[in-house]
Chain A
Amino acid sequence: MTRSALDGEDPDRLYTVTGGRSSADDIDLDLVTLIVRESDPSAGMQSEHVRILEIAAKPTSVVELSSYLSLPVSVIKILLADLLATGKVSARHPSSAQAGGRTSDSEFLKKVLVGLRNL
């Protein structure tokens, strides 16, 4: 196991980053939801939001953002909820999380197989 950047992370910092909110349970974001920037950072924005917007110039998954910012996944989800609410980013949800998600359909799995074989 790789040493984590979060070892010894100061809990006060996590509290500050999220403005004291602690629950990401009702935020509809998957580890692999792709986040895309819709507008540039604005003046006075909190630094974590700016960093997310910089990285999400290209589609970037929630879990990659978590790793790049060295913040737990649930903290990233809370930060993203703010950016989504203000339209600064958009989310491309995985088809597995959508109603009638068809990731276990044979047609879908065939596409995955083709992709793997072409590696």
Chain B
Amino acid sequence: MDSAISETDERLPLADTATDGLKIVIVGGFGVGKTTMVRSVSEIRPLSTEETMTQAGVGVDSTRGVQGKTTTTVAFDFGRISLDEQLVLYLFGAPGQERFWFLWDSLFAGTLGAVVLVDARRLADSWYAIDRLEHHGTPFIVARNNFGPPKHSLDDVRAALDLADEVPLVDCDARDRDSSKQVLISLVDHLYTLSKVREGAS
């Protein structure tokens, strides 16, 4: 565990002109490379923290005698990119597991969009995350993190994920800064296209 002193030394403060924080969430199962991607593009060493929330007990392990309430705790990583003098983009690596979605609204309301990071060997891990993002109305793209040369075409992946044609699907190497940056650009490009469609329709 790092000491408080080394944390202080490594802290890289924002410019005084920073006014507007933005959020992008990278969702994916354990070991798929979320933290790696955050680290590749972040201007700070990735940090982690937790949020806890007490809610009416719906889980299987709710304890008797505490009036049906359970405390949900989720841990998540994040990094930071200063986009210009005012805009600061925060990238959150979020585990896609079920209990995490209880906290989605309180943590990630107002998120620009999401990247679903997938491992082609474990595509089924992503179904739930894609379903939840659709449910929350959060725009997203899917990025396949390549661990070695891909065995399947992106079309195969699209079919296996049952992904709508309009949702972008890209390849990436989460360890590579340019590749990870390109994923973020693909997401914001997609958001831009959606905004143009909306503005054209109004």
Contact of B192 among A31, A64, A67, A110 (CB under 8 A): A110
Q: Is there contact, CB below 8 Å, between B47 and A113? A: no
Residue B83 CB within 8 A of the other chain: yes
Chain A positions 86-106 with a Cβ under 8 Å from a chain B Cβ: 92, 94-97, 101, 103-106
Q: Are A33 and B188 in contact (CB under 8 A)?
A: no
Q: CB of B134 within 8 A of chain A?
A: no
Residue of B nearest to A109 (CB): B192
Residues of B within 8 A of A67 (CB): 47-49, 78
Using a Cβ–Cβ cut-off of 8 Å, how many residues does chain B contribute to the interface with A? 58
Interface string of B33-56 (1 = CB under 8 A from A): 001000001000011111111100
Residues of A within 8 A of B112 (CB): 96, 103-104, 109, 112
Q: How many residues of A contact B (CB 8 A)?
A: 48
User: Majority SS of interface residues in chain B?
Assistant: mixed
* Residues on A facing B (Cβ under 8 Å): 1-6, 22, 25, 30-34, 55, 57-61, 63-64, 66-68, 70, 72-74, 92, 94-97, 101, 103-106, 109-117, 119
Which B residues form the contact surface with A (CB < 8 A)? 1, 7, 11, 13-16, 18-23, 30, 35, 41, 46-54, 73, 75, 77-78, 80-81, 83-84, 87-90, 92, 95, 106-112, 181, 184-185, 188-189, 191-192, 194-196, 198-199
Could you show 7 A-B contacts with beta carbons less than 8 Å apart? A31-B92, A31-B107, A34-B19, A34-B88, A61-B88, A109-B192, A112-B87
